[in-house]
Amino acid sequence: MTREFTTKSSEETVALGRELAKMLPPPKVVVLRGDLGAGKTTLVKGIAEGFQAASEEDVTSPTFTLIHEYRGPSATVYHIDLYRVDTQRELETLGLDDLMGEDSVLLIEWGEKFARFERERDVEIVLRRLGETERWVEVNSDSRGQASTNDKILEMSQTLEVVCDKCGTKRLVDFEPPPVHGARQVEPEFLPGHCIGDQERPIPGHIIKVR
């Protein structure tokens, strides 16, 4: 489902954020897309207010701090900015998995830089600058999270983290360029269903999940 809005001032964008909060009951992973200055942080001010988690003035850009946390009565809002986060390893050190609780709403600026959030997001909000004070806001909620593991592999466009359910072994897998255009390939030993642990060969009974 897609809904579109235009706002004519930052106050209107904050007000829209307050309304959008009602459409985002936790748990939610929301990716905010748009150029610098598009109004992503401004919208978060409203969303955090909508959850009674922070007042507009309290919400500032986490460009350098990367994560800001605002606790409300029914939800904890995490405002995350991945503009300065470039590698899978840097992303891991943020420990975003630990933030994904039942009452969590993750609002992630520049989340689209990582295939993981393209897969895991519940909602995508796209902001575009139409003029000095006019903004276009598109809210897309779909169910990309339903994709099967194989679909996920095909969707991947960058480094993939795989983890073994049984022993917790994690691997980062880089994709080979596709031999023909279309599907991308993973090295056979990294395919789901096998864990190679520290060994050379797959360990029976260990299943690798794509994250």
Nearer to ligand ADP, 10 or 140 (CB): 10
| Residues ≥6 apart with Cβ < 8 Å to 62 | 68, 79, 80, 81
Distance between CA 140 and CA 128 in Å, rounded?
14
Over the window 107 to 146, marking each residue x when it contacts ligand ADP by CB under 6 A and - when it does not, the resulting string is --x-----------------------xxx-----------
The answer to whether 42 contacts Mg ion (rule: CB under 5 A) is: no
* Smallest separation (angstroms) from ligand ADP to the CB of 69: 18
Minimum distance of Mg ion from residue 205's CB (angstroms): 45
Binding mask 49-68 for ligand ADP (x = CB under 6 A): ------------x-------
DSSP 83: T
Q: DSSP characters for 101-160?
A: -TTEEEEEETGGGSHHHHHH-SEEEEEEE-SSS-EEEEEEE--GGG--HHHHHHH--S-E
Q: Residue 2 CB, nearest distance to ligand ADP (Å)?
A: 19
28-33 vs 135-141, strand pairing mode? unpaired
In the complex, least distance from residue 107 CB atom to ligand ADP, rounded to whole angstroms:
11
Q: Could you give the C-alpha distances from 185 to 55, 88, 89, in angstroms and in order?
A: 47, 19, 22
Residue 61 within binding range of Mg ion, rule CB under 5 A = yes
Residue closer to ligand ADP (CB basis): 6 or 87: 6
> CA-CA distance, 169 to 211, in Å (whole number)?
12
Q: Which residues are near ligand ADP by CB under 6 A?
A: 7, 9-10, 12-13, 34, 36-42, 61, 109, 133-135
Q: Which residues are near Mg ion by CB under 5 A?
A: 40-41, 61
